[in-house]
Amino acid sequence: MTHAVHKDYDGAKLGMWLFLFTEILLFGGLFILYAVYLARYPNEFSSGGHQLNVVLGGTNTFLLVTSSMFAAMALTAIQQGKQALTIRLILGTLCCAAGFMVIKFIEWSAKIHHGIYPGSDGLISGPPGESVFFSLYYMSTGIHGLHVLIGATLLGIVAQRVRKGTINSTDYVILENGVLYWHLVDLVWIFIFPLYYLML
C-alpha cells in the first residue's frame, strides 16, 4: 500500500514538471518573438520601455520574490508538521499575489487612460515599433497575470486542505506542485521585468 502511494507521489510530480515544461514553451515563444522585434525596432522598444513605471515594476518584482520565499517556507513547514504556520505562509503568498495584481491593475489603467493600448489612435499614428512593443507588453503581462490568478487560486485551495488536514506532513504533493507552479510564475516575471521595464 505504501509503495502505491509513493508511485502516485512520483507520478504527480512528474506530471507537474511536464506541465511546467509546456508553460515554459509558451513564455519562451513570447520571449523569442520579443527578441525578433527588438532586433528590428531597437529604438522604438527603448522608447516604449521608458514609458513604463520602473518603480511599480520593481515593487511587483519584490512582491513576487517575497511570495516565492513564503511559498517555499510553507512547503518546509508542512514537512515539519506545522499546520498553522503553513497556512499563515500560504496566506502571505496570497497577500503578495493580491498586491501584485492591484499594482498591475493601476499600471494598466494609467496606460489605457493615456491612450497607450493595442489599437489605440496614439500607437497607430506613432512609430510601428512602439505599437509592437506595447502589444507584446500587454500580451506578456496579461498572460502572466492570468497565471498569477490561477496560481493564487490553487494555493488558496491548498490552504483549505491544509486546514482540514488532508494535506499534511506525510501527504503534501499537492502543496509541493503548487509551490513549483508559483516559482514558475515568479521566474517568468524575473524575465519580463528587465525586458520591458529596464530598456536602455
- Digit-coded pLDDT (tens) for 23-49: 999 999 999 999 999 999 999 999 999
**Which single residue is written with the C-alpha cell 507552479?**
181
Query: Does residue 78 carry a pLDDT above 80?
Result: yes
Q: What is the pLDDT of residues 168-181, one digit of tens each?
A: 999 999 999 999 99
pLDDT of residue 9: 77
Residue 8: per-residue pLDDT: 67
CA–CA separation, 60 vs 65, rounded Å?
9
Residue 198, pLDDT score? 93
Average pLDDT of every residue of the chain: 92
User: What is each CA distance from 154 to 55, 90, 138, 177, in whole angstroms?
Assistant: 29, 11, 24, 10
Instruction: Choose between 7 and 156: higher pLDDT.
Output: 156
CA distance 156 to 200: 39
Which of these, 74, 48, 13, lies nearest to 131 by C-alpha position? 48
- CATH number of the domain bearing residue 143: 1.20.120.80
The proportion of the chain whose per-residue pLDDT surpasses 70, expressed as a percent, equals 96
Predicted confidence at residue 43, as pLDDT, reads: 94
Dihedral sign from CA coordinates of 124, 57, 76, 148: negative
Query: Which residue segment(s) compose the domain that 15 sits in?
Result: 2-197
CB atoms within 10 A of CB 119: 8
**Domains: count for the chain:** 1
Euclidean distance between CA atoms 91 and 89, whole angstroms: 5
